[in-house]
Structure 1
Amino acid sequence: MIIERRQALAGLIATSLPWPLEAARLTDPKAYAAVALQLAARSVERAPDRAAARAQMLKMIEEVGVKLRSSAIFIQQYGGSPVKLAVLPEYLLTSYPGRISIAEFAAKAALEVDGPEYDAFGKIAAAQKLFIAGNAYEVDKHFPGLYFQTSFVVSPSGEVVLRYRRLNSMFAPTPHDVLSKYLDIYGLDGVFPVARTEIGNLAAIASEEIVYPEIARAHALRGAEIFLHSSSEIGSPTDTHKAIAKRARAFENLAYVISANTAGIEGTTMPLASADGNSMVVDWKGNVLAESNAGETFTAFADIDLAGLRAARRKPGMTNYLARQRTALFAAAYGAAKGQAADGLIDGNQVRIPDRDYFLRVQEQTIERLAKDGLI
């Protein structure tokens, strides 16, 4: 059964169309602006309990709404189009878990799928008539005791229209760690979700996942046109791995990348500006249209030319890398690859809760196996 599910995932690469046929019939939206809103994340580590953590997060969402409204007004007055899409940084409401145990952090800080935080974001999206993309830790009733890092999109209707769980993480559970059960519940659409909206086909990429081309490509093969990248990373005047990857993921998939970084992290022992700066908007040619400096700012904003992107995807030529991709060539190689194994947190039919060091041990074992096989 597990082998069959893995073959189904590998088959995604071999059989998916470069974009779904229905996407070609979409009406191109009117011009609009997207903004990567660079804000400081706020740790809940010092909150004494779940109620205090929840109160802090709801207060912060209220502050985000005020900053977003002011930013959108200035962007349009500056000469831009109406803001219809805002991307927020990674784990904005809580910061990273640190050494807090998996179960403790899930109980204290992870959002619930139908929790008040999403309702609060929904009210802001509805009032300001825009899509809000964010990132938070979230619990799932099917996997008690665990949490997943979740990228989400709330539409102007106030509803969550996209929920993507990070697939590659160094120190946290992912759907890959419980893949067989996750596929049984959510199917492939739940692993690589794409939201078809009036502002384009949206997909999320979380944090350092931007350096893994397969994740962006899997979304693109399912129709994604705009990658929403919530991140918390080191900013630098020189190109970092993530900065290079953002441009690569854009042009190789003919897709926009809207990347929002934190403006530092408040409430931890780490220096405030350790993860600060370089939020950006990248077009489908890999050009950086706008990029922020350090600090809280809305300056990474740009108009989205979706009609131009769609025209480029449908035009034969050497730079149409998405249409030129020969996916069937790679299915067997990916299927036979001996990377990190799926279902590491499933014992029989039971899901187990790992300690924090589990993830490092798994990587060490994977490296040892690859070295033994002469692959690295």
Structure 2
Amino acid sequence: MRVAVCQLNSREDRDQNLRVARDLLERAAGAGAELAVLPEYVDYLGPGKTAPKPESADGEFAQFFGRAARELGIWVHAGSFHESGPDDEHTYNTSLVFSPQGELTATYRKIHLYDVEIAGRVSYQESRSVAPGAETVVAEIAGVPVGLSICYDLRFPELYRRLAIAGARVLVVPAAFMMHTGRDHWEVLLRARAIENQCYVIAAGQIGDHEPSRTCFGRSMVIDPWGTVLAQAPDDITIATADLDMPRLDRIRAELPSLANRRL
């Protein structure tokens, strides 16, 4: 199974963001990818006051990526977007997965929200405008069980263990990981989630500067169940591809059965 991570610098111009996303999906399909993964908030990453109106899971955002999946004949994990939430003050941070027929096959709402105060460096309270999801999701993609997550979820290993126990063989992490934490934690956490759950990890990130005063780390990557980085995107708007070898995953789980040996 060949996969692609698509790395963007989404900003205030939603139409331009979507054009770039579509171009990267075309490049992924041209490279032979069966699944392409986009980053968190792929359609808009900018000031809240100019953000697009939240949509339902069958709105314009979904129609755009469903059509792209159908026309390109690939599975598309559409990163995430602002889905209409439980009240007027809150949205959901939601991932959608589309089949090569353009059908919506899975929906995941981000569970862990980024509420962080670092004096003089960052102040961000995602929960002020985003409601948490409540359900873990393992989606069937091209016959492979795939566990879904978003960005800050990465710091909560119990989520990924639950996904692995539920049968996930691949874990997906669309993200807009901040530069000041990403340079030290991004790869370490991704490799840890791969090793401890004996799963492939596909992580697609935003790259570069975004208003207001946000810089994302990028370095989108694909990691195997041994913790080896199979592919990593450079610091640019681009794609990176890798082949997932499921028999290798089976061998790793058989030779070092840590997932099977768990007692808690």
CA deviation profile, 1:312-334 (whole Å, cap 9, x unmatched): 33x2x4x222111113xxxxxxx
Point out the structure with the larger helix share: 1
Decide whether aligned partners of structure 1 residues 124 and 93 sit closer, same or farther in structure 2, where only a CA change above 3 A counts: same
C-alpha distance in 2 between matches for 1:226 and 1:302: 13
CA deviation profile, 1:204-247 (whole Å, cap 9, x unmatched): 111121121011111111111111111112458x9522221100
Verify the 8 A CA contact 1:235 1:278 in the aligned structure 2.
no
Point out the structure with the larger strand share: 2
Identity of aligned residues (%): 28
1:144 matched to 2:87? The reply is yes
CA deviation profile, 1:115-142 (whole Å, cap 9, x unmatched): 02111101111111111111112114xx
Shift of 1:280: 0.6
Match of 1:208 among 152, 157, 162: 152
1:126 matched to 2:95? The reply is no
1:68 matched to 2:5? The reply is no
Shift of 1:160: 1.6
Q: CA RMSD in A?
A: 2.4
Verify the 8 A CA contact 1:58 1:117 in the aligned structure 2.
no
Moved more, 61-70 or 165-174: 61-70
Match of 1:304 among 229, 240, 244: 244
Aligned AA (2:84): V
Q: What is residue 260 of structure 1 aligned with on the other side?
A: 204
Match of 2:45 among 95, 104, 111: 95
Shift of 1:71: 4.2
C-alpha distance in 2 between matches for 1:221 and 1:87: 23
Decide whether aligned partners of structure 1 residues 144 and 234 sit closer, same or farther in structure 2, where only a CA change above 3 A counts: closer
Please list every run of at least 4 consecutive aligned residues from structure 1 whose deviation after the TM superposition is greater than 3 angstroms. 56-60, 173-176, 310-313
C-alpha distance in 1 between matches for 2:212 and 2:252: 47
1:84 matched to 2:34? The reply is yes
TM normalised by structure 2 equals: 0.85
Decide whether aligned partners of structure 1 residues 96 and 220 sit closer, same or farther in structure 2, where only a CA change above 3 A counts: farther
Q: What is residue 42 of structure 1 aligned with on the other side?
A: 11
Decide whether aligned partners of structure 1 residues 97 and 249 sit closer, same or farther in structure 2, where only a CA change above 3 A counts: farther
Verify the 8 A CA contact 1:200 1:225 in the aligned structure 2.
yes
Shift of 1:97: 5.9
Q: What is residue 120 of structure 2 aligned with on the other side?
A: none
C-alpha distance in 1 between matches for 2:162 and 2:59: 29
C-alpha distance in 2 between matches for 1:307 and 1:137: 37
Shift of 1:34: 0.8
Q: Say how many residue pairs are matched.
A: 249
Shift of 1:59: 5.2
